Amino acid sequence: MNILYYMEPKTGQGGVGNVAHYLPKALAKKANVAYFPQRRSIKNAYNLLNIYRKFVLREFDVIQFNYVPTWINGSYMLIKFAKKLGTRTVLNIHGIIQLERKLARRHGAIPLMILPLALSSCSLADKVVVNTEYMRQQAATWYGIARDKMVVIPNGVDLREFSERSHTIALDGDPAILNVGWPSRLKGFDILAQAIAQLRSSLPNIKLHMVGGGGDMSYLPLLKEKGIEKYVVFHGMVEHSKLPRYYRSADICVIASRREGFPITLLEAMASGLPVIASNIGSLQEIISNGKDGVLFKSEDADDLSKAILALYRDEDLKEKISVNALKTATKYSWENIAEKYISLYKSLGK
């Protein structure tokens, strides 16, 4: 099987960047994979022409798109061209524009301007991959995509990178709470900050460690208002190869998001054996079995989050149980298993 993988711009850490990096590598173990576009160089200029020749001659069985609706890219034209040639296309969609605008202040007029292109790309593609049933429901509601046109295939995790790493770093705090992302309303940073403030009386040595770049720095006054500036440590962007050290060194990972498509952070923490406390939003409920391989708290409820952190911290038996079960759950999401699901999808499309 010959696959042309359409790569989005490099995004660093995060779900989209992980898929763009790991999925084609996993697919390459089961099929022939070519990339478009490739990095600019004289050497790759020939390769690009060769890919174009194969594309026109219909030598690719399927084109796989890793697609973010709020990004401007050339995927629509490529899908349209493939449609004329009769080449099958699969669109892995990350995010819903309307929801992104509703919850992230940094998105303005541009996403609305490119919404027609996003809708057209979804309409033209043979199949649309979403990562959870929650995303399938949202895509059907907001984009009008037929449910039977969508296939649910979750994101994956590199088990070797996170399960087998033993290196740690010194993270202050007892407990040391880890959040991988960026401070924003979308990620529920205000909820997490309020929970940390509430826990100071019960856990005076608690520390929140934030890993990730960007975000909404307008939340910084909230830390001062709550008197927790010294209890929150910002580590900034961290190389993905070094992330396992943070997961291995923390006591609890918290995901307080108001909305998530499929957070790679959750799988990385679970694969590291780090207990996770997450908001009980649709997508996270599909992955976590509450009290078994993770803990769910009431979304947007800082009081419920603080209670969940305190209860888990004080119950060593529960922490151990969740850690063991989380590792078992993570194995289902190995990139090898995820790649097999994509291959099965491609085969179902025929020629």
Average pLDDT, the chain: 86
Q: pLDDT band for position 103 (50/70/90)?
A: very low
Domains in the chain: ranges and CATH:
2-156+334-349 (3.40.50.2000), 159-331 (3.40.50.2000)
Percent over 90 (pLDDT), the chain: 52
pLDDT at 104: 47
pLDDT at 344: 96
Residue 110 pLDDT > 80, yes or no? no
Of 277, 278, 279, give the one whose Cα is nearest residue 299: 279
pLDDT at 239: 84
Report pLDDT digits (tens) over 65-97.
Answer: 887 776 666 788 888 888 888 899 999 988 776
Mean pLDDT of all residues in 264-269? 93
More confident residue, 152 or 110: 152
Mean pLDDT of all residues in 173-195? 91
Residue 41 pLDDT > 60, yes or no? no
Mean pLDDT of all residues in 269-293? 94
Output the CA angle 287-289-291, nearest 5 degrees: 140
Residue 166 pLDDT > 90, yes or no? no
Report pLDDT digits (tens) over 14-37.
Answer: 677 788 888 999 999 999 998 876
pLDDT at 331: 94
Mean pLDDT of all residues in 283-304? 95
